[in-house]
Amino acid sequence: MQVENMRTANGGYAANQFLIRTGGGVIFLSYRSQIATKAYDGTTTLYAPYWDMYSTTTNRYLLQFLNEDSIRDIRVKVKLGIYLTE
């Protein structure tokens, strides 16, 4: 397992925003909450209620983690079943 801070837009280390690399995939942790997981099999899982809680900071880094442009795009992909939720 490997833990690293996510990066800010300026290239610095983001406080309280972490990527955890495991044998099964990459986990995005914001503060102490698991927000999303990208499994190596291609499955992406978002964890309620945190992924959709309207926190500006969490949303910013979730968008970066998923390589998405807006939280609306994420919600559409959840409805389409592209992203799973728990």
Per-residue pLDDT tens over the stretch 2-23: 999 999 999 999 999 999 999 9
Q: What is the pLDDT of residue 79?
A: 97
Q: Amino acid identity, residue 62?
A: L
At 5 the three-state DSSP class reads strand
Q: How long, in residues, is the chain?
A: 86
- Domain containing 57 equals 2-85
Query: pLDDT confidence of 50, banded at 50, 70, 90?
Result: confident
Q: How far apart are CA 19 and CA 36, in angstroms?
A: 10
**Predicted local distance difference test score (pLDDT) of residue 53:** 78
Q: Is 34 exposed, middle or buried (0-12, 13-18, 19+ CB in 10 A)?
A: middle
Q: Own/partner pairs for 4-10, CB < 8 Å, 24+ apart?
A: 6/61, 6/64, 6/65
* pLDDT 10s digits, 60-83: 999 999 999 999 999 999 999 999
Q: How many folded domains does the chain comprise?
A: 1
User: At residue 54, does pLDDT exceed 90?
Assistant: no
pTM of the model: 0.93
